[in-house]
Amino acid sequence: MTLAERAAAIRAALREAPAVVLQELLAGVRDRVVLAVTFLALLELVKRRELTVEQERPWGPILCRRIP
């Protein structure tokens, strides 16, 4: 699993909906490496200004939104 593959998966999920909860992106993931790579891909997409990430309260859901 590469960073580019997980970034592509995140982009694909955001093409289907304007926003997605991080837990949905990680549904079924049991491997900690995949979890870490997914989180790093998310941070890279934020850095590239492809999406925003919001969390309204501690331990609340993390919402990822694409930037048009």
- 40 within 8 A of 3, measured Cβ to Cβ: yes
Domains of the chain listed by start with CATH number: 3-66 (1.10.10.580)
pLDDT tens for each residue of 3-16: 999 999 999 999 99
Q: Structure tokens of 35?
A: 């979890």
Strand order across the beta sheet in which 63-66 lies: 19-21, 63-66, 51-54
Task: Determine the Cα–Cα distance for residues 6 and 35; give it in Å rounded to an integer.
Answer: 10
pTM of the model: 0.88
Which tens digits make up the pLDDT trace of 12-67?
Answer: 999 999 999 999 999 999 999 999 999 999 999 999 999 999 999 999 999 999 99
